[in-house]
Structure 1
Amino acid sequence: MASPLIETKLYRPRIRQGVVARPRLGELLGRGSKSRMTLVSAPAGFGKTTAVAEWLASAAVGRRSAAWLSLDARDSQPASFWTYLVTALQRAAPGVGAGALPLLQSAPTSVETVLATVLNELGALSDPLDLILDDFHLADTPDIRTGMTFLLEHLPPQVHLVICTRADPALPLARLRARGELVELRAADLRFTADETAAYLDEAVGLKLIAADVEALEQRTEGWIAALKLAALSLRGREDVSDFVAGFAGDDRYVVDYLVEEVLGRQSDDVRDFLLRTSVLNRLHGPLCDAVTGRQDGKAMLEVLDRANLFVDRLDDRRRWYRYHHLFADVLRTHLADERPDEVASLHRRAGQWYADAGEHVPAVGHALEAGDVDRAADLVERAIPALQRDRQEATICGWIKDLPDDVVRVRPVLAVGLVGALMTRGEFEGVEDRLDGAERLLDDCGRAGPAAEPVVADRSALARLPGAIEMYRSALSLARGDSSATLRHAQRAIDRAAADDHVVRAAAAALSGLASWGSGDLDAAHASYSAAVEGLLRAGYVADVLGCSITLADIRITQGRLTDAQRTYERALRLAAEAPDTLRGTSDMHVGLCQIAWERGDAAAATGHLQRARELGELAGLPQHPYRWRVAQARILDAEGDQAGALDLLEEAERVYTSDLSPDVRPVPATRVRLLLTHGDLGEARDWARRQGLTTDDELSYVREYEHITLARVLLAAHTTDPSGSALGTATPFLQRLLTAAEAGGRTAAVIEILVLQARVHDAHGDSTAALAALERALTLAEPQGHLRVFADDGPPLTALLTTVVRQRPGWAYPRRLLDAAQRTGGATGEATGTTSAATRHALVEPLSERESEVLRLLAGDLAGPDIARRLHVSLNTLRTHTRHIYTKLGVNNRREAVRVAARLGLIPRAPGR
């Protein structure tokens, strides 16, 4: 007699209260309903069942009927499996399965015979039907697989199969993919997004966490829904919420219990052994796993784990490299340490040896440190330093050496000097002189008192290069202290003491001499020294450093007004970078530099394109100062687009992320910010800046402060505009003449052009049109060969009248006409003339919306949450909040819903249907 059926296995799961709406999953499942099969495959706790049940409950399913079957381990027997499946179909479509069930319960009958009857009956259905098999992995046996393959191959078009499983079934998935008959939802699709995480913790669980804690949990759990639920359980009743979130890991008792019960406890001893031993690895690769485990099945085992969805993520499309989910790895390591503590160090040693043999220094050192082998780690670091310095990986060097005991570093001069180089490149000078003194003492004592005094050296070839390197770093330290004469003296000693083939030290010494000349305003000498440095670096193969030098070379040419030469410098550097096998640090900076040149020439499209390319490459492809350079460049573009708030936000960020290096700060970010404020009439803050900086018109002039002093002249001009009866204009006149004389003497043509433009404005304000036009025409003559534009266009209305006069007096001169057109366009791109709102709307608003604010408003009217809007606009969440605050202020509202309503009434956005 057949066992009675468990009716609840045929019930569709109820949707629990507090489930986060996930329309994107419904869209994917809806797309799958038009195919033969949808596969929902992910590890335990990723919300597979809930996603499908929620989709079935949605109105989008319409006239579709659904047959649901929740499987368990007892359904691995064919008779039970097929009886339940046919019964589920019968409940959804009463005319199906009436003849099939008796066949299943009678004498042995082939599955194909039974399924043929069912398929014929399904084919007669007029309405579509979804068959959902939940937890299919519990019943996936060879006998059932055969019948399922037959069923899949002959499903009528109105029937759609959904399989929810923790492991990919051994069904003809590849064939279905090739035919376009399979839609797949994987862990990557099911993971909670940042917004869904926030909604779950806030609305479903009721935890009022700050944004930083929500973001940290989302990153730590990697969107794994079960982990979020377990974290929420742990958080209840806690007062130390932020501390708990910061430390949340796989040793949390709920996470451990869940993974042990749901995952580890279900694995064979063979799989469990592999999981524990390989948990010491951050990345998993077949041969590497073999080296660690001592087995020969690493590649095959990783493929098994991947198919079984055992919390492994592929890191490439060739299925060579994988990693464990962070929390899963934490649990595995905890169990490894508890069960096999004596094995941990040896496993790390094997991993480190494999990486060392493969020439991968970073993981080799990491595993040596994990194994407690500090001497071996120190040897590996010392040998790795030249390659890492060549590729500008200073942060890696600093991290390693700070992980090593100081007494180990102290007796290793090569290691100590390597750390000095990394620290100084990052702008960190504290303790550098003591380290140099210590390394020099080791070299002086070498061989004097027998073997006991011998320094510890892994890279003997580097020992001979230390005398030159030490002098080179002393030169750099002198430069950081502002001592130019000592900089040049130590640089020459470095060249004298460097080995003949030590191109790196010789090049660095030349660059330091160039920096000293640059800071003093001797641009020709600086360019010559830097050019010599580039040639030496190329001989040494230090292409990443060539990119760093290219920024200085280009900046010098820009200062000299030679934009074309600067462009060629950046383009040459990019060609060198393109020849490298991997993206070099500094590549992003080259695009930022080209952006600045294109922007000065008025090519906004090219400037934006270069800046976008820099963003795509990312900050990891940039040098230490890239984050601030990129923000300054982007701020200029945003301001020209009418987004003053966004531009100011970016400049504030640029100040925060600014990193000092040995280069003189010839264009300080605060001065750039003041220039932006002046274009929008904020004289008060500009004056405050001048007072804070101690700037006066009587200062001794220097190249390093020239940009700030020209900015001060702009402040004086703005003060005159505000109060024409004051003395600002009289003060500005001799000050600008002093600045002009100094800039001309230094060959700084870009500054000469800008100063002449300001002089033209001053003469015009005095009513001396002849002198004003003479100054402007001289500026135009200097600027025309290189195509300077923004220096004229950015001065807007005050210069427009003078340009108009030049165009009228010299109609055959095309260049002033081009500048006038650009100035008029610039004036029309900000303030009230943006064209983003009608005259009637502007009258209704407290203040008109900028173009960027209008774009934000349109997105606020949609369904995107704040973080998604920020990502769409490529701005930070703080910047988005600033835009939103300005929108609320201008619309006179306090929240998003009210803003959308008022904006629709004013015609700023389309009205939603029904409003």
Structure 2
Amino acid sequence: MKGAVPSPRSGQDGEGEPDALEVDTIAAAPPILSLRFAPPSLPPGFVVRSRIDEMLDAARGGDVTLVCAGAGYGKTLAVAAWAQSVHRLDRTAWLAAGEGVGVAAFWHDVIVALRMLPVVADEARIAEFMPGPAFGDSDVAGLVDALSSLPETVTLVIDDFHRLTSVDLLKSIHRVIECGVLTVHLVLVSRVEPRIPLRRLQVMGRLREIDAAVLAFTPREAEDLCARIGFELDPESRERLMNRTQGWPAGIRLALLSATVEYGGDVHAALTGFGGGGKLVASYLLEEVLARVASSDREFLLATSVTPVVCADLAQALTGRADRRAILEQLVARNVLTVRLTGRAGWFRYHPLLREFLRDRLTIERPQEISTLHRRTAQWYLDSGELIPGIRHLVAAGDWLAVAKVVGKSALPLILTIHAGELAAALAPALDVVERDPRPEVLLAASVVAHHSRDFVTMRQNALDAETALLASGVEPPRWAQVIVALARMVAARVFTPVELYESANEVLTVATGASRNELPAVGAYAVIGRTNVAISLVLRSEFGRARVHLEDVRVEADRAGVGLTSAAANAYLALLDVIAGDLPEAGRRSDMLAKLGVRRGWTQQPQLLAAYAASALVYLETDELDTASERVDFGLDLVRHGSDLPAAVILQIAAVGVALVRRELHTARAAASRLRALSASCSGLPLLDHWVAVSLARVELLCDDVDSAEKVLAELQASTSSSSREFGFELVTIARAEVLLAQHEPRAAFDLLGTPARYAAHRTLVVEAALLSAIAADRLRLDSIALERLGQAIDAAAPIGAIRSFVAHSEEIAGLLARYRHLNAEPSELTRAILVRLKAADAAATNVPATPSDPLTERELAVLRYLPTMFKSAEIAADLYVSVNTVKTHQQSIYRKLGVSTRRAAVDRAREWHLL
């Protein structure tokens, strides 16, 4: 099924999973991010509003509560007060949304927040889910499954929801909400209406809303607040307070604060000088408050407003004040819109209204100091190991040279972790700056953003332009710049010119290994990334022994360096090496382990797993489980759109051709071959792919009975191939040439060319194929005993690894020979019985394929059919046609049945063959 998450192979339990994949060492949030996972403490005099608590209590699992109002309505504190009550504390997870957060990082933070709850902490399914940078639709399904496994219903509060702006992120949140996870009550706290469609939930009774009208203080609550902080209001002042503020909680607090500071507690006098509401009230009152505080305290407030959260040490770095902790504590005690954060001791946050006002005043009064303050903040974060917040403040300071240094020296490996989206968001301003100021450091930052956006053309061009500018200075570029350029060149080679991968990966390795940890603190990660790509290039160059040694080492080293996805990539290419060696059970175990790992961790869309999907498709092809092989192909080809691994994509398309060949679907095979030609056009010069692609294309020509074209394809390749090589590709071509000779009715030449099956011992599936073709050639030459001997060798070689494809592919030629073999072997092996069953099924399928559909498609089925060549999922087709998803799936199954196919891709090819599309 297209887009479905691959399921584990039957009979495989995934045991023996490499330790290197069990831990994602950069998955844990950096310390500063831990502040997101706890609500703020309640300020002095806080008024509990039981009516709001009752509304929150009324929600059930699967419901969404939207708490939406402008700044100053006490949304966060109202929900925090509810969450921190004794009977709710253990079942309420808190997450404050971060600026620029990507899809993967957001859901990772959700998992971290949930795991902090005692009722969730030991839940294995949640603990294993660690989204990768390319978190996609299929991973949302895995996330929903993980959330549904929670032992009891919990509440998840997402504060500052309005800060989430990524279209992809909002789409994924909507998908989770639509699934109605019964174990999670979701509370969204936002200043504005979320940009996700929630009104359907309202119709279904699953949406509860707490808006500004509900959050506004009633006269009784306003009076209660005044009494708690020491104000006794006469009826006239109380009425004036409510009329001027309209119950706006921030306005009431500011009026009381202004009265304390300026008017000696006279609220009536404090309210005489302003009218209106919202920010106008806030600005007036804050101006009044700020004008009356000591100048040194005012400077403290202005300086610390450049950062969203502040602690005593950071405040000292910004202000030099030794009494910084006392000032922050006094602000809380005096109720000056400052709260403590419970996530980490000693951290504080100004109310958004106060911070916005302070930043405005700082911009007006001391604009020349802003860059300096951001640099100090950045340095404090970087000294604390907080790379992304440090980069954000360096960007705010406009110090692009420092930004590029931090990225090249330490932060760039984060692009392979869940923090990739945050890193790219922090660097995103470079895209605007580079247009008017293309300095090398800005170009390098922009190249990282382009990589995250999968704009590899721009990534490469920006990096090369930066390198040209650096070299023009006549001074050798610093290591941090060299490594960014080398990595960009290496990624570009994987995407556009894989033949250059070996050289470019070695360049990364050379830069990394030649640097000290002082020059490149992330040298370990860079060395592992470089070595992994060297190993992949060795696979493509058919240097399998060297490649395996590198890949086995990388599996362990990658995890130590904090790049767990690189470890997954190493295992994926090891699975391909297992396929090439013919160790199908091990290849299946390894690739299915990676598929299950992808589902468990939310990595199904990661390009690092593309080679694993290719290996899995090839295994199922060889074992003649063609429907499952097609599923793997379709899932992998969907991933190609997100990926940066062209060689793995080519191998995946080779598997697609193989499936069509075994099924003898002529039109599908031609279409798959055409896609293969287009995809492999940039891969010329890589021995493994050159041979494998040529053999696949030649076999399609043979299926079309165009023997001359098949011979031509192989002859062109043969002219450039060294006969001294006995690697997989060369032997594969030898076998394909033998097939051509058999098609040309030259069995003697084919038999002599193939030689003995022992020649192919390094590649067990080739032993099966060579022995089988040799048996066919001998049978045509009337060498009966040799034919039976070679058939027995093919069966003996195929039995331990379950390799049935070759027998099914040549079913017509071996039917009589296999009958004689069975007659001489009274007790047929399990494999022989399986082969006979498959041969009967293949013959039945071949004879039952009509030239046109015997049962015409209905109008509605034809409407659905027109969507199948697109990338639309079932849900999107359903939305377009205004029907349910189940209706679409029913029509799809009917289309498959009428067209005599079993996959979406085959349905498209058959429909085109019959001119239905």
Q: TM-score, normalised by structure 2?
A: 0.46
Larger Rg: 1
